[in-house]
Amino acid sequence: MKILVTGVAGFIGSRIAEMLLVRGDDVVGIDNLSDYYDIELKKNRIKRIRQAKIKGRFTFLELDLVDHNKVEQVFREQQPDKVVHMAAQDGDRYSIQKPLEYVNNNVVGFAHILEGCRQSPVQHLVYASSNAIYGLNRLLPFSVHQNTDHPLSLSAALKKSTELMAHSYSHLYQIPTTGIRFCTVYGPWDNPNMALPKFTKAILSGESIDVYNNGEHLRDFTYIDDAAKASILALDTIAEPNQHWSAELPDPATSSAPWRIYNIGDQHPVKLKVYIETLEKYLGRSAKKNYMKIQPGDVQDSYADIDAFIGQVGYKPEVDIEEGIKAFVDWYKVYYQ
């Protein structure tokens, strides 16, 4: 297979690309190498991909998905069999600060990917969503069969938008699409503006860390390798129409079109304060904690029911937070010396 991976210099996209190449797929990777966070980290992820013992061929293209002509050219020249769309402007708080930039990067870019899939056409499009989409929902664990019409942040609302955009293309053009609602993904090579790297840097520097909601947040932390493997399993399981779908009793996770939504998580949620305690354990240092109230746009508790995904593709998370945080700390100490 030739797989187009967007956001290939990103945290999740780079690991997916590496795993695809190792198993023998050819990968065309796209990234704009934006300076939203450390560009050197992104370049080093690309370098890591090239240095892996890969069986497939890797082509890297630096371009912005907002540029429709260049995206169109990539699809025309590369003719990918499948697409993994992981490119996005991340960060809930950033979406609050710069909403128009967020819309441009996340919605316009995705529209160009959908158009590319229509023109090629591709066998399957898998794209990143988020369990933040559940918003005001308080029925835990979150199920893909629940309503998601009340997101709390613009970033979550835009993820909902991309799911709906994908559905329209699946319905109109019979393009199989699968959306993956990731639960908090962490691990080696994580973005420096995410919680775990920020906490680690502050603790090692003797600085205080901001702990929102007094550390009482419940989260389904998902290790990067589990998230990447799940994405590839989803890619291999081409979305099909639900033959039993009913307009009278509509299932939000499926459709009469070839469109599917899955949750990806660990199924062992822990409180943020336990997550921090585990980090302290492997750093061998205690954190100075600045306890704060819950922030605008934050979902108080979040963890996912992944039974539908397990039943469909046989996914099973393998790395718990003890093993995952230890692996992150080991990587962090080496990478940042």
- Which residues does 236 contact at the CB level (< 8 Å), separation at least 6? 313
Half-sphere exposure of 88 (CA within 13 A, CB side): 24
Nearby residues of 252 by Cβ (< 8 Å), 6 or more positions away: 144, 145, 146, 147, 148, 261
CA angle 77, 7, 297 (to 5 degrees): 140
pTM given for the model: 0.95
Extract the tokens encoding 164: 């709906």
Q: Tell which phi-psi region holds residue 284, choosing left (phi > 0), alpha (psi between -120 and 50) or beta.
A: left
Q: Give the chain's radius of gyration (CA, Å).
A: 19
Structure tokens, 106? 């996340």
pLDDT digits (tens, 9 = 90+) for 13-61: 999 999 999 999 999 999 999 988 899 999 999 999 999 888 999 999 9
What burial letters (b/e) apply to 147-165, b meaning 16+ CB within 10 Å? Answer: ebeebbbbbbbbbbbbbeb
Residue 205: what pLDDT?
95
Euclidean distance between CA atoms 97 and 158, whole angstroms: 15
| Structural domain boundaries in the chain | 2-183+223-264+303-317
What are 181's strand-pairing partners?
Answer: 129, 263
pLDDT at residue 43, as a whole number:
97
Task: Say what the pLDDT of residue 54 is.
Answer: 87
What string of H, E and C letters represents the secondary structure of the chain?
Answer: CEEEEECCCCHHHHHHHHHHHHHCCEEEEEECCCCCCCHHHHHHHHHHHHHCCCCCCEEEEECCCCCHHHHHHHHHHHCCCEEEECCCCCCHHHHHHCHHHHHHHHHHHHHHHHHHHHHCCCCEEEEEEEHHHHCCCCCCCECCCCCCCCCCCHHHHHHHHHHHHHHHHHHHHCCCEEEEEECCEECCCCCCCCHHHHHHHHHHHCCEEEEEHHHCCEECCEEHHHHHHHHHHHHHCCCCCCCCCCCCCCCCCCCCCCEEEEEECCCCCEEHHHHHHHHHHHHCCCCEEEEECCCCCCCCEECECCHHHHHHHCCCCCCCHHHHHHHHHHHHHHHCC
- Residue 305's Cβ-side half-sphere holds a number of Cα atoms within 13 Å equal to 12
Please state the separation of Cα 62 from the chain's center in Å. 20
Among residues 38, 265, 49, the alpha carbon closest in space to that of 141 is found at 265
CATH of domain 2-183+223-264+303-317: 3.40.50.720
pLDDT tens digit at each of 337 positions of the chain: 999 999 999 999 999 999 999 999 999 999 999 988 899 999 999 999 999 888 999 999 999 999 999 999 999 999 999 999 999 876 666 666 777 777 888 899 999 999 999 999 899 999 999 999 999 988 999 999 999 999 988 889 999 999 999 999 999 999 999 999 999 999 999 999 999 999 999 999 999 999 999 999 899 999 999 999 999 999 999 999 999 999 999 999 999 999 999 999 998 899 999 999 999 999 999 999 999 988 877 878 888 999 999 999 989 899 999 999 999 999 999 999 9
pLDDT at 95: 61
Q: Give the strands of the sheet with 218-219, arranged side by side.
A: 270-271, 218-219, 301-302
In whole angstroms, what is the distance from residue 6 CA to residue 70 CA?
Answer: 13
**Rounded-to-integer distance, Cα 84 and Cα 12, Å:** 11
